[in-house]
Amino acid sequence: MHFFKTAVLATLSFSAIPSLAAITSNKLCQNLEGMTANVRVAQSSAVQITLANSLLYAVGLGPFPAIISCVGRTVDGAVSNAVQLATQAPYTVEAEAVAVANAFHDFVDEQIVMIETLITKAGDLGTRLLACGPTAVALASLRLQVGIFANALVTACPQAAARDLIIADRARVHVRVQVAIDAYTALRILRRNHARDLLTSPVQ
């Protein structure tokens, strides 16, 4: 399926943040830009989801959790070095810190577009085949990963202007993911209740 191939390629194409000795604000910004580009590829994968290529939804292996997990693995690739940077070499020049915060802001913007695209697709396709549980789990994992990454960036960019922007974007991800989780959970309950009603309804 093309959307799976595209999402996997997005993850494989991610260039890991270089070793701590090589990290500069410019390098970190470049890697954030690469992560943002990969999220845009994931958006393209989300747009391609149709009922015709959704046969794996029911067993939890469909494109919804797969696409989200690919983005999560992209974030995971950046977290360890960001944590090292935060504990050993925080930026002291405000312009550098703000540049990193702005790059993170763009990354968050594209994540939110991806999440909203997936929610729209879920609404368009209905609840019959949607693997709501695995999707909600993948979203919760992504929220945790982005939160860890944001916390490391806050420590690495202690200047108020950068710190406040990163914290605000971390909150945006938290809120938007929670809305998405609630939406998928509601769809799951609706589908379960619908199935129960079909089983218990008297024959007309």
Neighbours of 36 (CB within 10 A): 19
Q: Give the per-residue pLDDT at 103.
A: 93
Contact between 177 and 143 under an 8 Å Cβ cutoff? The reply is yes
- CA dist 62 to 1, 85, 170, Å? 10, 36, 27
**CA angle (82 as vertex; 80, 87 as ends), nearest 5:** 100
What distance in Å separates the CA atoms of residue 138 and residue 135, rounded to the nearest whole number? 5
Q: Tens-of-pLDDT digits for all 204 residues of the chain?
A: 454 445 444 444 444 444 545 567 788 888 889 889 988 888 888 888 776 655 555 444 567 777 888 888 878 777 776 777 667 667 778 898 899 999 999 999 999 998 888 877 766 665 444 556 677 788 888 888 899 899 988 888 888 989 999 999 999 999 988 888 887 777 666 666 655 554 454 544
Q: Could you tell me the residue range of the domain that residue 181 belongs to? A: 2-200
| pLDDT at res. 52 | 62
CA terminus-to-terminus distance, the chain: 41
Q: Which helix (H) or strand (E) holds 146?
A: helix 132-156
- Domain count of the chain? 1
